Structure 1
Amino acid sequence: MDHRPERPAPNPRAAVPLRTLILALVVALVPVAVVAASSGQSSTQGSPVKVAKGITVALSPSSRSLDQGQSTTFTVSATSTGGFTGPVAFTVTGLPAGATAAWSPSSVVLGSGSTAQVALTVATSPTTPVGKSDFTVKGASGTGQNAVQSNAAPGQLQVQEVKRTFGVTGSLSGLLAPGVSRAVELQISNPGNKSIAITNLTVSIAQVVRTPAAVAANLPCSSADYQVTQYSGSYPLAAPPGPSSLTSLGVNDSSKWPQVRMLDTLQLQDGCKGATLQLTYSGTGQAN
């Protein structure tokens, strides 16, 4: 006979509440995690940033090249931002000397979110400096405290020198002698069909041709016996098509013409008697 106490048989229903409790706890934790993630995501979404009313200006192309005296055209676009509406006028600053700007049309009216274009024509003169110039274009609407200003759209203008072919000759106004100066009347030949602006006229002695008698007697004479003074009148000289001269171009004062002077030296200058001077001429001609 077994005297050990009887052990109670396990009750399967008693384990059910514990398992149910664990499952319920897991199920209860899931919605909390989902809510937390959802709550964190919604907190990162802020209100949209409000864009101030304004004007944006752009230039196309940003750079152009042209010859002196010519013109070129840019396209300027103005766009409404932030719901801006109203008229817009344009200005340009930084153009080189002698260049002018014209707008077509002179202004535009923008609706909310719209874009309008105008043509900017830049005209140069024959004396506009050669080289690159940086300029800016702006748009504006209104005045005073209510004025709306655009950005500054950058641009560049490259002005090139235009050279034209022409001829220059000259003649002395009389015979030379030691200590005597003679003016040189310049003759200009323009083969083109348009006038040209002439600058930088120069005269130089290429050669001194002695008489056969001076050569036979071995009497010296060279360019060192002479002095040349360059043209001192105003520039540019507007030479029309065909032949012209300093006189016909309005330079009547012969003292402003080039001058050739025979120096009066202590050395014997018999070799210069009857000598012929061969002169060369140069200058710069630009299209008008």
Structure 2
Amino acid sequence: MEIRQLEYFREIATTGSINEAARRLNMSQPPLSYQMKQLEAELNVTLFERTRTGVTLTEAGKLLYERAENLLNFVSSTRQEVAEAGKKRVLRIGMTPTTVGTMMPFISEFARKNPDVNFEVHDGITYTLYNYLMDGIVDVAVVRTPLRLDGVEYTELHQEPMIAVIPSEMRLERECGLRLKDLMNSPLILYRRYEKFIMDAFSAQNLTPDIFCLCDDARGAMLWVREGLAVAIFPESMRCFCEGLHIETLAEPALETKILLIWKKGKQPTSLVQKFLDICMK
């Protein structure tokens, strides 16, 4: 299995068409098809289902596509590092969109002390960044709990509560401090990443909430709140996306999340990574 074949495979998977992939790769269709047949023969699997409108990935193809993305990203990163050898060093960091604010003071201090270092940042959800770290695509990653911590070392950077983002016209009755029980008469929007975490907290209090919507894009969910459809429950760092909306902190210690900096266990950090860790851990 060659890097070139993986690049060809990714282009076909992305376009859903061998002809269109060949056009984008500036090659004719027959040799591209031949390379894919060679790849399938080597792996002893079928990667594509041919249809009248193009191609679709089989289950084996979907798995290879996921791994190919990681491998090709790693190859690209390695090429850059080798090209910059002796010029600029590169620190590869994975960050979720809502942890950037937490990390910037550390990154800023590190950059001032190490002007010869460039940065390569990979965005993604916590689980994606964990896999990037395990696959060697990033040196360190900034993630949120809950998550599995086997295979990594970590240091805690910040702890924050959950917030309720409330439509301006909606009023919640409570005695003092907003609790989960105070949300029982309101439809709720949950970020899928925290669904189990939040539902477990409700269950621990023998509460069954009205889940109006589960979503994968927390920022997009704010549009639902603006329309007055439901109350959203998100980490406090989502405040920056909630301008003009009513926000209250949930007085629920069980719902506090931690922002962690993680790096691979059992692998001695490079001197560059160790310098960054020292700044984050002091």
Name the TM tier (shorter chain): under 0.3
Q: Normalized per residue, which structure has more strand?
A: 1
Larger RCO (CA under 8 A, 6+ residues apart): 2
Q: Which has the larger radius of gyration?
A: 1
Q: Normalized per residue, which structure has more helix?
A: 2
| Structure 1 length-normalised TM | 0.25
